[in-house]
Amino acid sequence: MADEQETEAEAEEFHPRGTVAILVMFVLAIIILWGSVYVILLSRGVTV
């Protein structure tokens, strides 16, 4: 019983820094790539 509580406590304190870093890079890549395509769309002028 005591061992189980200890394991749960360790899991709560675990901070996955590497995963967070990869996810931050992923989000930034999405924002930059999508933003650049959006700017290209705007720069090419309106289609009606």
Partner 1 sequence: MSAPNDAKRTLHIDPYEKNWMRISIILVIVFAAAVTVAGFALGFQVPSPEERVDPNNLTGPWENPGLRELSPGVYELYVIGNATTWQFEPRDVEIPVDSTVTIYVTSRDIQHGFKLQDTNINMQILPGQVSKLTHVFEEAGEYPYICTEYCGVGHAAMFGNLTVVEK
Q: Does 30 bind partner 1 (CB under 8 A)?
A: yes
Describe the chain by its helix, strand, coil percentages, rounded to 5: 80, 0, 20
Residue 28 structure tokens: 């930034």
With CB under 8 A as the contact rule, the residue among 25, 31, 32, 33 that binds partner 1 is: 31
- The alpha carbon dihedral of 39, 44, 46, 47 has a sign of negative
The least CB distance from residue 6 to partner 1, in Å, is 18
Among 3, 4, 5, 46, binds partner 1 (CB under 8 A): 46
Q: Which of 27, 29, 32, 33 touches partner 1 (CB under 8 A)?
A: 27
